[in-house]
Amino acid sequence: MAAQPRDVVEQYVKLVATGPTSAILDLYAEDAVIEDPIGSPERRGHEAIGELYKALENLERETELHTVKVAGNHVAAHFTLVTVSNGHRMTLAPIDVMELNDEGKIIKMRAYWGQDDLAMEQI
């Protein structure tokens, strides 16, 4: 049985905080496309998508899932990502909108966030 959209997004948010890039990529179809944030160049396929998540691997990070909305194979999630590195804390509050295929893999993800959703502070 294919993973349910809510389960996929819950696992995704958890892995953004804890998992290696390979585990995050396991949630994506091989030919998936992401746009993170909206307006940036699309990343297509595991290699290109992995570059985005590899940037998180060496950071102290945590996430909190706030809202999940599901409509068929489409899901939107509002969550917070907090990272700490080199005496700085970054807090990002995106809304990620995903489309899943019939196998429960993410085929498209678009992250909605802008400068108002990003806070940087020295700690």
pLDDT band at 70 (very low <50, low <70, confident <90, very high): very high
Of 24, 86, 20, 11, which is closest to residue 57 (Cα–Cα)?
20
What pTM was estimated for this model as a whole? 0.93
The residue from 7, 28, 36, 117 that is catalytic is 36
Q: What would you report as the CA-atom Rg of the chain, rounded to the nearest whole angstrom?
A: 14
CA 25 to each of CA 18, 44, 55, 85, 90: distance values in angstroms, whole numbers, following the listed order:
13, 12, 14, 23, 23
Active site (annotated) includes residue 12: yes
Kindly report the backbone phi and psi dihedral angles of residue 80, in degrees, each rounded to the nearest multiple of 5, phi listed first: -120, 135
36: annotated active-site residue: yes
What are 100's two structure tokens? 């899943």
Q: In the prediction, which pLDDT does 19 show?
A: 87
Tell me the residue type at 24: I
What value does the mean pLDDT take over residues 9-34?
96
Q: Which of 12, 28, 53, 96 is catalytic?
A: 12
